[in-house]
């Protein structure tokens, strides 16, 4: 079975920091999606997205699946941390999907909005 390339906590922090930087650089009103942002970033670093069996599922690997950096379900943690880090400056607006059953949030397109709430 594949094993993690890095400690989960380290990896989630690195991915969250990378996404924060990318989203803060985006213009208000731009659209994006978490999973493609992560996948494209790591593909440029030599990773591929590959299904690593039932217990891991889709994941980013650079050695054919012997190890993996991030599995799709880790993106739930990444999203929670990202939204907290952006609070007070930016927010990810998923309101186009309100009252719909459409899929996993990290696969949905969001609109970058100015966040007016306090941290």
Give me 66's structure tokens: 């012997």
Confirm whether 88 is domain-assigned.
yes
- Note down the domain range covering 91: 3-114
Confirm whether 13 is domain-assigned.
yes
pLDDT on residue 116 = 81
Confirm whether 101 is domain-assigned.
yes
- Total domains present in the chain: 1
Hey, how many other C-beta atoms are within 10 angstroms of the C-beta on 104?
13
Q: What is the mean pLDDT of residues 83-87?
A: 95
Confirm whether 119 is domain-assigned.
no
Confirm whether 103 is domain-assigned.
yes
**Which pLDDT band, with edges at 50, 70 and 90, does 17 fall under?**
very high
Q: How many CA within 13 A on the CB side of residue 86?
A: 26
Hey, how many other C-beta atoms are within 10 angstroms of the C-beta on 29?
10
Nearest to 79 by CA among 92, 90, 69: 92
The pairing of strands 58-61 and 48-51 is antiparallel
pTM check: above 0.85: yes
Confirm whether 31 is domain-assigned.
yes
Cβ atoms 69, 61 nearer than 8 A:
yes
């Amino acid at each position: 079975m594949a094993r993690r390339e890095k400690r989960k906590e380290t990896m989630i922090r690195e991915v969250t920091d990378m996404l924060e930087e990318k989203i803060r650089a985006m213009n208000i009103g731009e659209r994006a999606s978490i999973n493609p942002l992560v996948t494209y970033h790591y593909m440029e670093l030599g990773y591929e997205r590959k299904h690593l069996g039932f217990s891991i599922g889709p994941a980013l690997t650079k050695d054919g699946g012997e190890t993996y950096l991030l599995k799709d379900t880790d993106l739930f943690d990444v999203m929670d941390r990202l939204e907290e880090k952006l609070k007070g400056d930016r927010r990810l607006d998923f309101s186009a999907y309100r009252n719909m059953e459409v899929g996993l949030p990290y696969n949905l397109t969001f609109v970058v909005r100015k966040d007016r709430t306090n941290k």
